[in-house]
Amino acid sequence: MSSPQTWFLDNQERGNSHARLYADRSDGSAWTPGNRVTALVDGSTYFARLCTELRTVGHGDLVFFADWRGDPDQRLNGPGSAVMVELARAESGGARVFGLVWRSHLDRFRFSEEQNRTLAQALQAMNAQVVLDMRVRRGGSHHQKFAVIRRRDDPARDVAFLGGIDLGHGRGDDHEHRGDTQTQPMPRRYGPNAPWHDAMVEIRGPAVADVECCFRERWDDPTALQHNRPWLWAVDKLRNVRHSRSPLPDPWPAPPPAGRDCVQLLRTYPSQSPPYPFAPKGERTVAAGYRKALARAERLVYVEDQFLWGTTVADAFADALRRAPGLHLVAVLPRYPDSEGGLQEPAKDAAHAEAVEVLREAGGERVHLFDLENAVGTPIYVHAKVCLIDDTWAAVGSANLNKRSWTHDSELTAAVVTVPGDDGDGAPPGSFARRLRLQLWAEHLGRAHDHVDDLTDPVADLAVLRAHADQLDAWHRDGQVGPRPPGQLRNHRIPVASMALRRAVEPLVRTVIDPDGRPWQWRRRDQW
């Protein structure tokens, strides 16, 4: 396991970031040691943990959350555990609840305007400080998904959650992937309640205060919440949705050390007018963090991602494949895009095909692409945003592998490197990156999480992944005769996108699906 400074961005490499994060470090470090990071794979796991923590907050405790989509009735852990109920219970029990929910685009475009407004309205009625936030670039979104719980009397129990899972319908699936009974609209190929694969991290230790700082920066931004759509003031007035924000309590000291995981928060904020006071030219440390880590990759880059689009992101991975001839790239992706019909589906297929061409030109047979299906053959929608490099560097967050997430929308990702230790200090054995890889591979291979002792080498074990995918492909091809082979892995088929189609949909990809949020001077020079 390597020293974190060889993998993490230093203050100079953070470049255009003007965040308060790490600003007061006497040693100048741009990351936080002393944490215990736990992976929470799939929504039911995360929801249950969040519910447990919310039910144990008390008088004077603080709860902060930010969300892209929030359904007030989404159950966290069985009957009576709706998001709205649990947050209102925390507020009524004496905790103070603060929330930033994205002011969504219209529902008729398959977004969540009504759900997010209803969540904010309901929690405001319970005296929680929750507001709708539209301080984004036009056409963009606040895509961050995180929660922070601070304990007034027991900081050792402080916790932060961040990753790809919204507090919304469809996310509450488990490792068997039969889908969330509280459904959201998805393409028919994913069935009536789409199986959904996702990931979050649970952070304990000083980095909890870093996640809280991200919330505080957004909350304290003096820009009007609806500066992109001022006519919504009238709509909110009729619905009794408040825009006022109470000042946050003064920040508390960071929680005490809890483990051997070093955490660096990587973020995206676009360049926009009016600018973010904490990132006047935007922030692109997600892109910079990935690029630095990929420059050190030697054996295996393992990715699970909702999107793998275009050349901007693919080039960073292709450069690593060309530099290191022994490097393999494994990507687990959705079988189909999240759009059906119209121009968006072929546009997303074309952008995906373009990225795969770049990767295969650089890596050839060292590029391995898979998708997933459940035990009855329904495709699993991969919504996770995970990258693991050489069992050393891990990234879990809200940022996808596309230009939009690297430049245009607000995003928050945790990069994690475990420092060596004797494993006698109560910390889990091995690196966080290795533990997460084995946890994910166990799920996809149809094994129990404690039956992965034979997966000792991340590159040699690629043969196990390929064999499982080949066997399941052959079983389908041969008419599903005999017992179904174990696991979820299928070989990913790249959609065929002609050059004429790519040219036809390119304006839609560039302006709507995968826009660029960098200042125009930076775009022109391809500068990050």
Residues 271, 244, single domain; the answer is: no
Which of 261, 284, 311 corresponds to the end of one domain?
Answer: 261
Regarding whether 483 and 346 lie in a shared domain, the answer is yes
CATH number for position 89: 3.30.870.10
- Exposure string over 479-507, b if 16+ CB within 10 A, otherwise e: eeeeeebebbbbebeeeebeeebbeebee
Question: Domain for residue 313, yes or no?
Answer: yes
Quick one: pLDDT at residue 492?
A: 97
pLDDT of residue 190: 96
400 assigned to some structural domain: yes
99/196 same-domain check: yes
Contact 298, 344 (CB under 8 A): no
So what's the pLDDT on residue 191?
A: 95
Neighbours of 319 (CB within 10 A): 14
pLDDT at 18: 62
* Average pLDDT of the residues of the chain: 91
If asked whether residues 96 and 237 sit together in one domain, one would say: yes
Distance CA 184, CA 335 (A): 18
Residue of 302, 305, 301 whose CA lies nearest to 327: 301
Cβ count within 10 A of residue 133:
26
Which domain-ending residue is among 210, 229, 261? 261
Number of domains in the chain: 2
What are the Cα distances from residue 120, in Å, to 257, 291, 375, 479, 523?
34, 37, 38, 50, 36
The residues of the chain scoring below 70 in pLDDT are 1-2, 16-19, 105-111, 227-234, 238, 422-427
- Same domain for 310 and 417: yes
Q: State the pLDDT at residue 3.
A: 82
410 and 351 co-located in one domain:
yes
Residues 204 and 283 both lie in one domain = no
Find the domain containing 407 and state its range: 264-524
In a domain, 9, yes or no: no
- The per-residue pLDDT for 157 is 98
- CA nearest neighbour of 169 among 154, 177, 179: 179
321 and 243 within one domain? no
pLDDT at position 2:
66
pLDDT at 182: 95
pLDDT of residue 25: 77
Please tell me whether residues 268 and 409 are part of one structural domain: yes
Q: Is the dihedral of CA 382, 67, 188, 497 positive or negative?
A: negative
Structure tokens at 422: 């004797």
- Does 489 fall in a domain? yes
Distance of alpha carbon 179 from alpha carbon 124, whole angstroms: 31
* 251 in the same domain as 276: no
> Is 247 domain-assigned?
yes
Identify the burial level of 298 via C-beta atoms within 10 angstroms of its C-beta, where 0-12 means exposed, 13-18 middle and 19 or more buried.
middle
What is the model's pLDDT at position 105? 67
The pLDDT, as a whole number, for residue 284 is: 95
Provide the residue count of the chain. Answer: 528
pLDDT of residue 414: 98
**421: β partners:** none
Instruction: Give SS3 for 266.
Output: strand
DSSP code at position 259: S
6 within domain boundaries: no
**Residue pLDDT, tens place only, 314-348:** 999 999 999 999 999 999 999 999 988 788 888 99
Tell me: do 347 and 468 sit in the same domain: yes
Distances (CA, A) of 355 to 348, 441, 514, 527: 11, 24, 13, 20
Q: Rounded distance, CA 145 to CA 398, Å?
A: 7
User: CA 179, CA 503: separation in Å to the nearest integer?
Assistant: 36
Helix (H, G, I), strand (E, B) or coil at 461: coil
Q: Does the residue 5 lie in any domain?
A: no
Domain finish residue from 244, 261, 278: 261
| Whether residues 282 and 360 fall in one domain | yes
